[in-house]
Amino acid sequence: MSDNELNANQQSAVSTRQKYDLKWNVDKVTTRLPVPVLIQLGHYMKEFDLRPSEAVRQILTDWLTDKNYPTSSN
């Protein structure tokens, strides 16, 4: 196959890239957590009846609020 044929095939190929969806982003966060922390997250989610994204959002909100971080960039 020549270089021209290869380029033509690549350009005509349908992209397999999926649309970005925030709901999958939480999996990237939870898979990087150490196992003991992931277990604690599971207990937290069960206690408050939350899904992973809601639990992570609530934990970060509470933690950042407790630390008095600013809520705007100004």
Report d(CA 25, CA 2) in Å as an integer. 40
Dihedrals φ, ψ of 35, to 5°?
A: -55, -45
| Tokens encoding 4 | 């021209």
In a domain, 17, yes or no: no
pLDDT digits (tens, 9 = 90+) for 32-72: 778 888 889 889 999 999 988 888 889 888 898 888 888 78
Report d(CA 48, CA 54) in Å as an integer. 10
In a domain, 49, yes or no: yes
The range of the structural domain enclosing residue 40 comes to 28-68
Q: For residue 48, give every residue at least 6 positions away whose Cβ sits within 8 Å of its Cβ, in sequence order, or none.
A: 55, 58
In a domain, 15, yes or no: no
For residues 5-17, average pLDDT: 57
Say what the pLDDT of residue 70 is. Answer: 83
Say what the pLDDT of residue 72 is. Answer: 81
Structurally, how many domains does the chain consist of? 1
- Confidence (pTM): 0.52
Q: For residue 22, give every residue at least 6 positions away whose Cβ sits within 8 Å of its Cβ, in sequence order, or none.
A: 53
